[in-house]
Amino acid sequence: MNPVQDPAAAPEPHGSPPSAEPHPIPVAVSGVTKRFGTVRALGGVTLEFPAGQVTALMGENGAGKSTLLKILTGDHQPTEGAVVVNGKPLALDSPARARAAGIRIIPQEPEIIPHVSVAENVYAGALPRTRGRLLDRAGLNRRIKADLDRLGFAHVLDPALLGSQLTPAQRQLVEIMRALTGGTTARLIAFDEPTSSLSEREVDALFTLIRRLRDEGIAIVYVSHRMREIFQLADRIAVLRDGSLVGVQDAGATHEGELVRRMVGRDLSAAFVRQRVAVERLVLDVQDLTTDDVTGISLQVRAGEVVGLAGLIGAGRSELALALAGDAPIHSGSVTLDGTPLRSGRPGEVIRAGLGLAPEERKAQALFLRQSIKDNTSLVVLDRLRRFRFVRRAAERRLAQEYTDRLRVRAPSIDHEVGKLSGGNQQKVVLARWLARKPKVLVLDEPTRGIDVGAKSEIYRIIADLAAQGVALLVISSELPELLGLADRVVVMQGGRITGELDRGDATEESILQLAMADDIVGPAPGASS
Amino acid sequence: MTLTRTPSPAVKGSPGDGTAARRPKFLAGPGGQNISLIGALAVVLVLFGVLNENYLSLSNMQVIAEAATITGLLAIVQTVVIICGGLDISVGSQVGVASVVSAMTFTATGSGAFLGMAAAVGVGMLIGALNGIVIVYGRVNPTIATLAGLAAYKGLAQLLSDGRAQGYVLNNDVFIFLGRGKMAGLPVMVWILIVVAVTVHLLLKYTDIGRNLYAIGGNDTAARLAGISINKYLICVYALIGVVAAIAGVLLTARTGSGQPVSGSEGLELKAITAAALGGAALKGGKGGIGGTLLAVALLGCLENGLTVQGINTFWQNVAQGALLVIAVVIQQRRSGERAVGLPH
């Protein structure tokens, strides 16, 4: 997202000023097909985005949502068909043209320049300047104040804050301000999974804002995997599958089950419920563990048990997971794994003792994107695959093949680069790595984040199988229905401490949220996510 | 499930993948890169072969091989450190220190050739490990740390030698054998290069140590969480560079007959890095191989010799070398498909 805001660079299409009588269908796509080589990413999609309505775009990963958004924003050009703006087909051959036509996107990961102020971030690329071509600070301040007041963000966004000081929600506000200020009026704003790093309260505020924008007559496109949000927000729901539009319906005329069926093309029980297995001996015993980020954590996980770890963003769940994996210094307390006390700061020692972590950010923390599925899978078992320090290559291939088959990783071969796989398949490669290691304890941090419905249910099945085989599992998830379906017990964290523990019978979304917001601490939301 | 990304041409030969295994070992690694290197090498050979009839003679080829050996040794270890995401621009200065230490120890101990070599290798290992410790525990960027080393070790070599060539070793059979000897028709120096190349190649491609080095360069956070002791590996890699640079220093002494603090080793870091980059080692880490690096060393050696044979000013050779480094990295960036800074998506 390049916030070029120079209206002169890309003239207003067809000379119709956006301030004129708004067109009822400001933006639409007509018969849009997009091919990449021989692969068809979109096939003949015709879809209108009416003014003053929220159109939700749903579909599994790879269904064509991203491609459609990129065509709207001028990043891709359609192979056939066109984007229609105010009733007239328009060649959006660059992001600047799309911007000039009033089409804006709020990307999933806001692009914020860390060392400059909010004001400079908002107007980056079109900063006001004096006649001597110096930055016009006074003008900048006037402008940001005016825009903050106009948009009603004045109380939530201090224009003097630096990019690096912003919370995820504030970062999103900066992107929204970029979309709403500048040369031309926005006709359509697309939100690409905006809530994935927001807390519940921030989500509410975002929704209020989106509704306001909608009521001002802007066409909203909303992309999300979260059903509940879709039904809270959307007026119309469009479902894509394998690059084709399955259908558009009014949100009131459909329900979750039907949408899932349309997305995957098959019936799928939306709520996964794992069968309980006989819980055995104590495997993971954490006593009064304190690190930089968590305080006085005591929890136990037994063989065959799935313990859910719930909490809001910033509750310290991921920090706890990393500490268990040996990646944070332990100040006090102990972690005992199957009778073996673990020292801190040594992930290798923890792995040898039998604990594996599938971390939250799979691309940044777990995967080697330019290496093959085989190399990614075998990395933590090389010590078992070597003879004198030489890796037994045939055995390595067999092992990688076995686990990628077992987890149904969809790829041409185990030599395929991991960076070219979809999110769900990447997550399966991370799981394959740990399954190959046969750990006693597996910690899964947001195992289904950003993964489509079909892959999610496969991950649930894998978790259930592991528990049935006697692995002790600690699962962190921000999706409460998922946690309720999987876990035998739910441990709730808040502010780096455990605030409560609920048995499967007592755990409901409400009871968990109550514990997660126990003290309702209002403070600066930590930049680190949980 | 389809991929959400733009499909790109089928599986490229990433380190140690199956497609590479089916190719001859020599070509294992980034395939396309090696083929273009062979093409460039052929062009250079044909061009200078046509211009000068002696260029392709066996004796000239031997001159090229001997001249390229020291660069080759350094390029091999440079490839290793680049694969794990680091860089060492102090290699040339390390060679100078080792050269001086070997000759001076030899002289001081009354013609103990092996003692001289052992001293050089020992000092080399210490210097390399020091680089590693500064980088790992001082958290200094490798480029800066070894830039400091480039200056400091050069000064150290000059201090030890009082700034001039030291000792005379060509009265000793061992040094004569190293510098001038032949085995099975090939110079001993070239044999040493071959042994080091094969050893490092086996290390990188067939051992878990090699896999871990690629992992560290590919994603250090993920490598750490996968239980790899990154600090230990990095210090060992820099120490390995010190050892191999010391071997190169001993060879330099054997070639020239005395310990050389600066001449003969200055500028070697540029050649080594250029060869590694030309050979396909990604400067971001995680990618590269010995086959490509050796091809690039051969290309650089043939080019340099051809230009010299043609009587082209050595100043131009420097220009050519700098240009080649930039070209190599530009090609690398194009291949990696990364979006250029400042261009729209």
B181 touches chain A (CB under 8 A): no
Does residue B245 fall inside a structural domain?
A: yes
Q: CA of B1 to nearest chain A CA: how many angstroms apart?
A: 6
Lowest pLDDT segment from A123-127, A218-222, A517-521, B192-196: A517-521
- Indicate left, alpha or beta for B10 from its phi (over 0: left) and psi (-120 to 50: alpha): beta
Residues of A in contact with B4 (CB under 8 A): 61-62, 66-67, 422-423
| Residue span of the structural domain in which B144 resides | 52-333
Q: How far apart are CA A66 and CA B5, in angstroms?
A: 9
Query: What is the mean predicted confidence (pLDDT) over A157-186?
Result: 83
Q: Nearest Cβ partner of A416 from B11, B226, B345? A: B11
Judge whether B330 is closer than 8 Å to chain A, CB to CB: no
pLDDT tops 80 at residue A188: yes
HEC profile of A155-168? CCCCCCCEHHHCCH
Residues A89-106: tens digit of each pLDDT: 888 888 888 888 889 888
pLDDT of residue A2: 43
**Would you say residue B2 lies in a domain?**
no
A178 compared with B140, residue with greater pLDDT? B140
* B345 occurs within a structural domain: no
B30 part of a folded domain:
no
Predicted local distance difference test score (pLDDT) of residue A18: 47
Which pLDDT score, from 0 to 100, does residue A38 have? 64
Set of chain B residues whose Cβ sits within 8 Å of the Cβ of A359 = 225
Q: Are B226 and A380 in contact (CB under 8 A)?
A: yes
CB pair distance less than 8 Å for B218 and A369: yes
The residue among A13 and A406 whose pLDDT is bigger is A406
Most A CBs within 10 Å, among B14, B200, B341, to test the A interface: B14
Overall size of chain B counted in residues: 345
Q: Return the pLDDT at A411.
A: 84
Count of alpha carbons within 13 Å of A408, Cβ hemisphere only?
Answer: 10
Does B42 fall in a domain?
no
Q: Using CA atoms, how far apart are residues B178 and B255, in angstroms rounded to an integer? A: 8
B1·A415 Cβ contact <8 A: no
Pick the more confident residue, B13 or A164: A164
Please say if the pLDDT value at position A522 is more than 70. no
Evaluate whether residue B211 is within a structural domain.
yes
- Nearest CA of chain B to the CA of A524: how many Å? 27
Contacts of residue B83, Cβ cutoff 8 Å, sequence gap at least 6: B204, B213, B214, B217, B281, B285, B286, B287, B288
Tally of domains within chain B: 1
A397 touching chain B per CB within 8 A: yes
Residue type, A110: P
Look at residues B202, B204, B245, B209 and name the one whose alpha carbon lies nearest to residue B98.
Answer: B245
Chain B, nearest residue to A67 by Cα: B4
Closest alpha carbon within chain B to A392 = B206
In a domain, B10, yes or no: no
Residues sharing a CB contact under 8 Å with residue B255, sequence separation 6 or more, in sequence order: B66, B179, B189, B264
Chain A: nearest CA to B211, how far in angstroms?
Answer: 8
Residue B3, min C-alpha distance to chain A (Å) = 5
Q: Is B338 on the interface with A (CB under 8 A)?
A: no
Per-residue model confidence as pLDDT tens digits over A391-449 = 999 999 999 999 999 888 888 889 999 988 888 889 999 999 999 999 999 999 999 88
Residue in B closest to A349 by C-alpha? B227
In a domain, B342, yes or no: no
- Closest residue to A364, CB basis, from B221, B344, B345: B221
Q: Does B109 touch chain A (CB under 8 A)?
A: no
For the segment A470-495, the average pLDDT, to the nearest whole number, is 90
| Interface mutation vs chain B, best among A324, A370, A433, most B CBs within 10 Å | A370
Q: How many CB pairs under 8 A join A and B?
A: 144
Q: Are B278 and B74 in contact (CB under 8 A)?
A: no
Chain A residue closest in CA terms to B29:
A371
* Residue that the structure tokens 């301040």 belong to: A141
Rounded Cα–Cα distance for residues A520 and B9 (Å): 52
Closest partner CB to B206 (pick from A75, A391, A423): A391
Per-residue pLDDT of chain B (345 residues; tens, 9 = 90+): 333 333 333 333 333 333 433 444 444 444 567 888 888 899 999 999 999 888 999 889 988 998 899 999 999 999 999 999 999 999 999 999 999 999 999 989 887 889 999 999 999 999 999 999 999 999 999 999 999 999 999 999 999 999 888 888 888 889 999 988 889 888 999 999 999 999 999 999 999 999 999 999 999 999 999 999 999 999 999 999 999 999 999 999 999 999 998 888 888 999 999 999 999 888 888 889 999 999 999 999 999 999 888 888 888 888 888 888 888 888 777 776 655 554 443
Tell me the C-alpha to C-alpha distance, in Å, between residue B187 and each of B71, B114, B248.
15, 20, 15
Q: List, in order of start, the domains of chain A with CATH numbers.
A: 24-112+166-264 (3.40.50.300), 113-165 (no CATH), 282-516 (3.40.50.300)
CATH number at residue B321: 1.10.3470.10
Q: Which residue of A has its CA nearest to B2?
A: A62
**B contacts of A380 (beta carbons < 8 Å):** 226-227
Q: Report how far residue A35's alpha carbon sits from residue B2's, in angstroms, rounded to the nearest whole number.
A: 13
- Which chain A residue lies closest to B212 (C-alpha atoms)? A379
B170 burial (CB, 10 Å; 0-12 / 13-18 / 19+) is middle
DSSP reduced 3-state for B16: coil
Q: Do B226 and A351 touch (CB under 8 A)?
A: yes
Q: Which residue of A has its CA nearest to B19?
A: A415
